[in-house]
Amino acid sequence: MKTAVVLFNRDLRLRDNPALAAAAKAERTAPLFVFDEALLGSRFAAPNRVAFMLESLHDLDEGLRKAGGRLFVRRGDPVREAVALARECGAGAIHVSADWSAYARRRERRLAAACREERVELVVHPGVTIVPPGAVTPTGGDHFRVFTPYHRAWSEVPLRQGHGAPRKLRIPSRLRAGRLPALGQLIAGSTSPERARGGEVEGRKRMRAFLRDGVGAYPDRHDDLAGDATSRLSAHLRFGCVSPLELMLAARERHGEAFVRQLCWRDFHHQVLAATPSLPHRDYRPRRDRWSRSKRAFEAWQEGRTGYPLVDAAMRQLDREGFMHNRARMTVASFLSKDLYVDWRQGAWHFWDLLSDGEIANNAGNWQWVAGTGNDTRPNRVLNPIRQAERFDPDGTYVRRYLPELEPLRGKEILRPWLAEGFAKLDYPQPIVDHDEAAAEFRARRGV
Ligand code: FAD
C-alpha cells in the first residue's frame, strides 16, 4: 500500500504498537493525533491527564522525527479529521487501536462508517490491554464476572507477537503538519504540583528501574504505604506510553507473578467494561442503596478532613500528586461508600478530576468493587481505616508525609489522634463518624 494513516488515541508509543507497526509497512505513513473538541471541553479532560498526555505527545513526536517521520496534529472531531487527512494524502487505510469505553466504541463505529463512505480501509488493532476483551470468555457468558477464573483463563491464552519501534518512516509530502498546543490552550485549571511526567522515554525509564529493583520485592512490599514500592506505571499504561504486553512478559521473565496478576486486574476490568458499557454510571450489581446526600461528609472526605489520618493523608496525596497508592485507594473508597454511605459515583468523579492514571474501566470497576456493587465476591466487607493504618503504615510515615498538622504526635498516637493529649491544640478534626458504628449501620442497610 502506498500511504496509511495511524490515528493515535491512548496508545502513545513507538515500541510494540501494532497499529503503528502496521501503518509503517506502507510506503508512506501519516501519524495523526486529534485533540477531540468534545472531550477537551468536558470534565473528562482533567488538567493532570491533559498535561500528561501533552508531554507524551511531545515525546511521541520526537521519537517519530528520529525515525524520519513526525506527528500530524489536528483539533476537532477525530473521525472527521482522520478521514480528511486520509483523503488529503490519498491513504488507502487508517490504523487504530481498539478501545473499550462506550465513547471509544461509538467513535470506532463512526470511523468505520466514514471509512466505508470514503472507501478507505479501517484496520483495528489490539494493544491497549494484554488480552483483548472477549478473547477469553466463560462457558455461556460474554465476560468473566469473577477475577480468579478470569486470571486462570487469561494466564493460558496465546499472546500476540510483540513489535519493535519502526526504524524508518516516510511521511506524505505537502501535508499541513499542525502544532502541539501549549498546555494553557487546552485547560483552564491547575495541575498537581508533584504529578508524574508523561512520555514513552519516561515510562521506559520507570519500567526498567522497576524491573531491576522493584519487581522481586513486589509481593512483600506492594502494600507498604510509606515504602511506595509499586511500579507507579499506571499513568504510562493509561496513555499507552508503555506496552502492557512488553511489561508483562518482562515481569514474567523475572518471576514477577504477583505483579503480573495486577496487570491481569487491569485487563479484567476492561473486559467487564466492554461487556457493560454502563459501568461508570450504573451499579453492576444493584444493591438498592439509598445513598446519603450529605454534602458535609463528601466535602470532608474530598478535603482530607475526616479525622481518620490514613483517609486524610491519602486524599492529600491525590491532590498533591494526582496519584494515590492502591491500598489507600481501597481504604478511602471503602470509607466514602460504606462509612459515610455516599454514592461511589461521587467518589469516582472526584478521582476522575485528579488522577493522572484516571481511566474508565479501572476507576469505575474498582469503585464498584469496593462499594460492593461490582465484582467483589465479599461485597459487604468494610475496611477499618485504623486497622489498615496499623497494618500498612504502622509508624505513621505515610500519614506524616501528607498531614504536617499531625507532626507533633508521637509514635502510635498518630493512629487515633483524638485520644492524644495535645489533640485540642492540633488543627485537625474529630472523626466525622465512629467507624464501628458506621460499619454496623452499613451492614444493616444492606440487610446483612
Ligand atoms: P502497581 O501495583 O505497580 O501495579 C501495576 C499496574 O497494574 C498498575 O499500573 C495498573 O495498571 C494495574 N493495576 C494494579 N492494581 C490494579 C487494580 N486494582 N485494578 C486494575 N488495575 C490494577 N488504576 C488505574 O489505572 N486508573 C484508575 O482510574 C484507577 N482507579 C482506582 C480506583 C479505586 C477506588 C481503586 C481501589 C483502584 C483504582 N485503580 C486505578 C487501581 C490501582 O489502584 C492503580 O492502578 C495503582 O494504584 C497504580 O499504581 P502502580 O502503577 O504503582 O501500581
pLDDT digits (tens, 9 = 90+) for 139-188: 999 999 999 999 999 999 999 999 999 999 999 999 999 999 999 999 98
Take atom 33 of ligand 1 and give the residue whose Cα is closest.
366
Pocket, ligand 1, Cβ cutoff 6 A: 222, 230-234, 237-238, 262-263, 265-266, 269, 325-326, 329-330, 333, 351, 355, 357-359, 362-363, 366-367, 370
Contact indicator for 266, 237 with CB cutoff of 8 Å: yes
Q: Which atom of ligand 1 is nearest to the CA of 325?
A: 47
**For residue 157, what pLDDT is reported?**
96
Non-local CB neighbours of 248 within 8 Å, separated by 6+ positions: 130, 260, 263
pTM (predicted TM-score) = 0.98
The pLDDT value given to residue 448: 93
Q: Exposure of 153 by Cβ count < 10 A (0-12 exposed, 13-18 middle, 19+ buried)? A: middle
| Cβ count near 404 (within 10 Å) | 10
Could you tell me the distance, in angstroms and rounded to a whole number, from the CA of residue 221 to the centre of ligand 1?
Answer: 15
**CA–CA dist 373, 337 (Å, integer):** 10
The radius of gyration of the chain's CA atoms, rounded to the nearest angstrom, is: 23
Condensed to tens digits (0 to 9), the pLDDT of residues 119-139 reads 999 999 999 999 999 999 999
Dump the DSSP string for 276-312. Answer: -TTTTTS-SS------B--HHHHHHHHHT-SS-HHHH
Residues of the chain with confidence (pLDDT) below 50: none
State how far the Cα of 197 lies from the Cα of 223, in Å rounded to an integer: 23
CA 372 – ligand 1 centroid, Å: 18
- Residues in CB range of 276: below 8 A, 6 or more apart: 143, 284
What is residue 428's predicted lDDT score, i.e. its pLDDT?
98
Cα 400 to ligand 1 centroid, rounded to whole Å: 23
How many whole angstroms from 368 Cα to the centroid of ligand 1?
A: 14
Predicted pLDDT of residue 43: 85
Structure confidence at residue 41 (pLDDT): 80
Kindly give the interhelix angle for 326-334 and 385-392, rounded to the nearest 10 degrees: 170
CA of 237 to the centre of ligand 1 (A): 10
Cα 300 to the center of its chain, rounded Å: 25
CA–CA distances in Å: residue 395 to residues 229, 410, 428: 17, 9, 19
Which of 228, 234, 239, 271 for mutating ligand 1's site (highest number of atoms within 8 Å of CB)? 234
Contact assessment for residue 241 and residue 52, using Cβ atoms and an 8 Å cutoff: no
